[in-house]
Amino acid sequence: MSNRLSKLGRLIDRSKQVTFSFNGTTMRGFAGDTLASALLANDQMMMGRSFKYHRPRGVVASGAEEPNALVGLGEGSKFEPNQRATTTELFDGLKAQSQNHWPNLDFDIGAVNTHLARFLPAGFYYKMFIHPQPFWKHIYEPFIRKSAGLGKAPDAETRDADTYEHFYAFTDVLVIGGGVAGLQAAKAAAVTGVKVLLVEQTAHWGGRAPVDGGSIDDGPVDKFVEQIVAELEAMDNVTMRLRCMGAGIYDHGYALSYERLTDHAPHAAGPRHRLWRIRAKQIVTATGAIERPLSFAGNDVPGVMLASAMRDYVVNWGVTPGERVVVATNNDDAYRTAITLKNAGVDVLRILDARASGGGALADEARALGIRVDPGKAIAKVSGGKRVKEVSICNQEGIGGARDEVDCDAVAMSGGWSPVVHLWSHCGGKLIWDEAQAHFRPDPDRPPLGVDGAGFVSAAGSANGALALGEVLSDAHATGLAAAKTAGGKAKRPKAPNGDSTTETPMEPVWLMPANADTPLRMKSWLDFQNDVKVSDVQLAAREGYESVEHTKRYTTLGMATDQGKLSNINGLAILADSLNAEIPQVGTTTFRPPYTPISMGAIGGEARGKVFQPIRRTPMHDWHDRNGADWEPVGLWRRAYAYQRPGESVEAAVNREVKNTRENLGLLDASTLGKLIVKGPDAGRFLDMMYTNMMSTLKQGKCRYGLMCSENGFLIDDGVVARIDEDTWLCHTTTGGAERIHGHMEEWLQTEWWDWKVYVANVTEQYAQVAVVGPNARKVLEKLGGMDVSKEALPFMEWRDGQIGGFDCRAYRISFSGELSYEIAVPASRGQAFWDALMEAGKEFGVMPYGTECLHILRAEKGFIMIGDETDGTVIPQDLGLHWALSKKKEDFLGKRAQERSHMADPDRWKLVGLETVDGSVLPDGAYAVGEGTNANGQRNMIGRVTSTYYSANLGRGIAMGLVKHGPDRMGEVIEIPGTDGKSYKAKIVEPIFYDKDGEKQNV
């Protein structure tokens, strides 16, 4: 059994007991425990079930690389699935649930899959579920979705109770990893005076060196760590962060680091995670190395663990994963585990060293402690269901026969070490294969390149392939210095500390144990624990023709789980290389992509949730609308009132009331959102003649003109009323959604094409609150407020004047988008609400009502006025809409003119704007297509047009619509067929696109 030792445990505080629960059972641990170490201390070796076969699984590792021990943490609004027990710091009240089992962890129905394993080989899903096709959507996919997946998704209706944030940081040198290499690299860089940011993913400095032993400058490693941390903390140019994982490296020295602030203290104030968005001149990856498992049958039985992890549990947390342990290795380092265990009073039954020659000085040390060392031996098989029971021992060279059985309860395995090259590789750093260590390490000649073509990332310590303590420190020291020099540090030649550790004999690569394991053994030799990929699966993929490691990955799912194959990738590609008779470097690795380990969606989103998910733009009268029943509609980032609902009134009824009232009495529209661009300069008139299809340079001061704007491809992009302010100043109204876009459009042409024209543009949209005062009583209310002369004579239709109304400085435009007598009054935004209030008050006797955007749409549609975005969709030209009158024939050029002359644009078969009246007065479905005779090549009805705007007109008591119809203007009076998606087919008569006051008398009074 696994249990707590009476001594050891450098990271735990035995005076502080912590209570937590696992699958509802209350357990106890100590402050400083991880969830994994605390579970082991409670003899909870089995921590979950596997993804595909639902095999019992225990913890394998002690850090970020853990594939098995994934749990659901917390409850309700704090629930999060797939959390690694090894990186979860224990806190009082922690609640964890194991995953991937039903009905419970001990007894699981899905475990039957393990007996069906021979029917579920690699590529099973691809082969099985491809036919018949319709089965996929309705049978296969729902089934697979149910049986696949690791943790549960949080409840759909629950909202995350925590907050998150980003933080922008700028530094000269970013050091990722706070082990002895990272600390030394940071110090070497910092003494040159540059700014250094040092981040470490765990809660402790020093990494695993204090566990592995050795000495630095003749003192213990712990002491060195303590000293160097104190030195760095005292330096003003150094920032240090624990629980902050370097997640990704990107172009231009950009890096992301993921800081977990309150995961270990969930009741603390402040955000839960913080995503550091870092710009660094140089980045040093001191990310360490990860031990590789050995591939033998039953290497996934709970109790089989990485040798280094077992050592960590003993030294760091005073927990032993077993009482009778067998160690299997191909290198000297694993002997340290055996020695550590033995010294802690744990029985070490055997060290099986796959190397025929056995180990070196560490092996001698183990033997001296009385541990039996068997060179040339291997594990044939581990037996046990939920716990290691027995190990069968065979010769490494062979197929796994002639076994010797040993009863034990834990197995420590070591297949050698792989540098963590992920961050080095994210932005294009290349790797080389190191034959001696049998691992990939960063190729210093091919680093990720910055804008200047020089490398901006360097690896230090074990991450660079330097595994012995002495090499780690000297490499990190040199790397830190070099990075600082490149980042502008002063020339300094500090001395590197001296690291000393027991000399090791070379390791020998072991990709399969025993070397020629037979098929039944290979089918139980796991490569990828989390995704249940075995040696036999990769070999099958190779036999089926998968040569590329990337394809094999997708086919077998090797390395595709949440751990992204941190333990499995190298072993897997070695098996693939062997199966293909290729060299390992020829096969290469799959792509390393950020983030290093999964980071929370909350951290990615940062503050952008809830009320600041997206900016909402508000007009000065927004709050009034909100208090007065506004049914909000998003228009760009603005919110506009669609209609103002009265108590008990439906939205439709509100719209109909507003439509009638505006035509009969007086309506107010908040038109503040309409874009307002000032165009000024000696060349402004000439410029606007190019921007608009019609002539703007000839517009007289004090007058307004409706204008169309096209892209250079001829398509309509915006429209609006232009007012000539003075000799060299125009004010251009744009659509609500068009203000920023058209401003950019103007600037682009001014800056790239006509850079020598003297024109400046300013976007003054938000300077003004603009109110449309509309209806037969519009003039009466303005005259009641008093001030400037708004009579027909003083302010005729399509003119503007500056003045005062009701004491408000304003600019009044006599323009109409409704066909009614209408003024648009612009006042400074800070007086908008007061002006609106004055109009509402004065308008009472004239039947004033605010109206929303739907009423605005209906009024304009009754008049046949087009709307950008309804009648246009980026493929429509003014000619399609019968707007020939707005296309200047006098101008030599304007944007779109040449394009509109091209054959397709001049094609008489283009769909043209018409009005549509349903035969029965009903309302046509929006966006519906009109169908004609015959069918197209796909057997579908030929289409002859579509509905662009459709409304119920309360004024006319019937549905009205506009649409684009082939030869439409030539087919007045014809009835066409428009099928809806509601099963009905509508019949509509083609009419002129103007339904109300055809002669325009009402707006011109």
Closer CB to other proteins, residue 195 or residue 336?
A: 195
680 binds other proteins (CB under 8 A): yes
CA distance 840 to 823: 15
Contact between residue 330 and residue 416 where contact means Cβ atoms under 8 Å apart: yes
Name 248's Cβ contacts closer than 8 Å, sequence gap at least 6.
255, 256, 423, 426, 594, 595, 596
Applying CB under 8 A, which of residues 697, 833, 879, 1004 lies at the interface with other proteins? Answer: 833
Phi, psi of 23 (to 5 degrees): 50, 40
Nearest Cα to Cα of residue 902 among 746, 643, 715, 731: 715
- In the 3-class helix/strand/coil scheme, how is 132-167 assigned residue by residue? CHHHHHHHHHHHHHHHCCCCCCCCCCCCCCCCEEEE
Which region among 56-64, 526-534, 754-762, 908-916 touches other proteins (by CB under 8 A)? Answer: 754-762
In this structure, are residues 738 and 675 in contact, taking their beta carbons and an 8 Å threshold?
yes
**Phi, psi for residue 72 in degrees, rounded to 5:** -90, 130
Shortest spacing between CB 876 and other proteins, in angstroms: 29
215 near other proteins (CB under 8 A): no
Cβ at position 991, least distance to other proteins in Å: 40
| Identity of the residue, 561 or 838, whose beta carbon is nearer to other proteins in the bound complex | 838
Strand partners, 34: 89
625 binds other proteins (CB under 8 A): no
For residue 718, what are the β-bridge partners? Answer: 709
The least CB distance from residue 245 to other proteins, in Å, is 16
The distance of closest approach from Cβ of residue 218 to other proteins in the complex, given in angstroms and rounded to an integer, is 35
Beta bridge partners of 721: 706
Distance (Å, whole) CA 876 – CA 912: 9
Q: Residue 218 or 756: which CB sits closer to other proteins?
A: 756
Residue of 1, 515, 764, 840 interacting with other proteins (CB under 8 A): 764
Four-point Cα dihedral 847, 852, 853, 857, nearest 10: -30
CA–CA separation, 600 vs 323, rounded Å? 38
The one-letter amino acid at 621: M
**Smallest gap from residue 325 Cβ to other proteins (A):** 43
CB atoms closer than 10 angstroms to residue 550: 12
- Residue 439 or 639 having the CB closest to other proteins: 639
Least distance in Å: CB of 97 to other proteins? Answer: 28
Cα torsion angle, 696, 699, 703, 705, sign: negative
Contact between 403 and other proteins per CB under 8 A: no
Q: Is 767 in the site for other proteins (CB under 8 A)?
A: yes
Question: In the range 219-258, which residues lie near other proteins by CB under 8 A?
Answer: 239
> Which one of 620, 819, 896, 945 is in contact with other proteins (CB under 8 A)?
620
d(CA 175, CA 516): 43
**Least CB distance to other proteins at residue 628 (A):** 18
The residue from 59, 351, 829, 978 that contacts other proteins (CB under 8 A) is: 829
Locate 248 and state its tokens: 């990704």
Could you tell me the smallest distance in angstroms from the CB atom of residue 448 to other proteins? 21
The correct pick among 110, 213, 585, 681 for binding other proteins (CB under 8 A) is 681
Distance CA 540, CA 922 (A): 65
432 binds other proteins (CB under 8 A): no
Residue 619 binds to other proteins (criterion: CB under 8 A): yes
Q: Is residue 615 near other proteins by the rule CB under 8 A?
A: yes
Whole-number Å distance between alpha carbons of 92 and 521? 43
Min separation Cβ 852 and other proteins, Å: 18
328 contributes a contact to other proteins by CB under 8 A: no
Helix (H/G/I), strand (E/B), else coil: 491: coil
At closest approach, how far in Å is the CB of 248 from other proteins?
Answer: 16
830 binds other proteins (CB under 8 A): yes
For position 145 contacting other proteins by CB under 8 A, the verdict is no
- Of 834, 905, 923, 956, the one binding other proteins by CB under 8 A: 834
For other proteins, give the closer residue by CB, 617 or 801. 617
CB of 200 to other proteins, least distance (A): 15
- Shortest Å distance, C-beta 731 to other proteins: 10
Out of 95, 758, 941, 958, name the contact with other proteins by CB under 8 A: 758
Residues that bind other proteins (rule: CB under 8 A) add up to a total of 50
Task: State in angstroms the smallest separation of the CB of 607 from other proteins.
Answer: 5
Q: How far is the CB of 234 from other proteins (least distance, A)?
A: 15
CB of 160 vs other proteins, minimal distance in Å: 14
Nearer CB in complex with other proteins: 239/562: 239
Question: What's the per-residue H, E or C state across 788-834?
Answer: CCCCCCCCCCCEEEEEEECCEEEEEECCCCCCCCEEEEEEEHHHHHH
**Residue 682 interacting with other proteins (CB under 8 A):** yes
Q: How far apart are CA 718 and CA 699, in angstroms?
A: 19
Return phi, psi of residue 663, to 5°: -70, -30
Cβ of residue 813: shortest distance to other proteins, in angstroms? Answer: 18
For the four alpha carbons of 663, 668, 674 and 677, in that order, the dihedral sign comes to: positive
Q: Rounded to whole angstroms, how far apart are CA atoms 730 and 677?
A: 8
Cα dihedral angle (778, 784, 786, 789), rounded to 10 degrees?
Answer: 50
- Residue 426: left if φ>0, alpha if ψ -120 to 50, beta else—which one? alpha
In the complex with other proteins, the residue whose CB is nearer, 322 or 606, is 606
Segment contacting other proteins by CB under 8 A, of 158-166, 391-399, 930-938, 948-956: 158-166
Tokens matching residue 291: 């031990």
As given in the structure block, the two tokens for residue 590 are 């799959």
Angle, vertex CA 739, rays to CA 734 and CA 744, nearest 5: 120
Nearer to other proteins, 615 or 983 (CB): 615
Under rule CB under 8 A, residue 752 binds other proteins: no
Measured from the CB atom, is 834 or 905 closer to other proteins? 834
Closer of 142 and 270 to other proteins (Cβ): 270
Here's the x/- map for other proteins, 166-205, by CB under 8 A: it reads as xxxxx------------------------x----------
Q: List binders of other proteins among 803-822 (CB under 8 A).
A: 807-808
Question: How far, CA to CA in Å, does 257 sit from each of 84, 179, 593, 870?
Answer: 18, 16, 14, 45
Cis-peptide, bond into residue 103, ω within 30° of zero: yes
Rule CB under 8 A: is residue 617 a binding residue for other proteins? yes
Q: Two tokens at 729?
A: 């100043």
Nearer to other proteins (CB atom), residue 227 or residue 262: 262
CB 597 within 8 A of CB 323: no
Which of 768, 800, 865, 929 is the binder for other proteins (CB under 8 A)? 768
Q: What are the φ/ψ torsions at residue 309 (nearest 5 degrees)? A: -65, -40
- Residue ranges in 626-645 that form contacts with other proteins under rule CB under 8 A: 637-638
Decide if residue 741 touches other proteins (CB under 8 A).
no
Q: Give the separation between CA 185 and CA 173, rounded to whole angstroms.
A: 10
Candidate list 450, 602, 606, 675; residue touching other proteins; CB under 8 A: 606
Judged by beta carbon, residue 239 or residue 888, the one nearer other proteins is 239
Q: Which of residues 263-282 bind other proteins (CB under 8 A)?
A: 268-271, 274, 277, 279
**Nearest distance, CB of residue 844 and other proteins, angstroms:** 19
Q: Which amino acid is at 630?
A: A
Q: Coil, strand or helix: which one is 210?
A: helix
What one-character DSSP code corresponds to residue 857?
Answer: H
Residues belonging to the chain? 1005
Note the residues at the interface with other proteins (CB under 8 A): 163, 165-170, 195, 239, 268-271, 274, 277, 279, 606-608, 611-612, 614-620, 637-638, 678, 680-682, 758, 760, 762, 764-768, 807-808, 828-831, 833-834
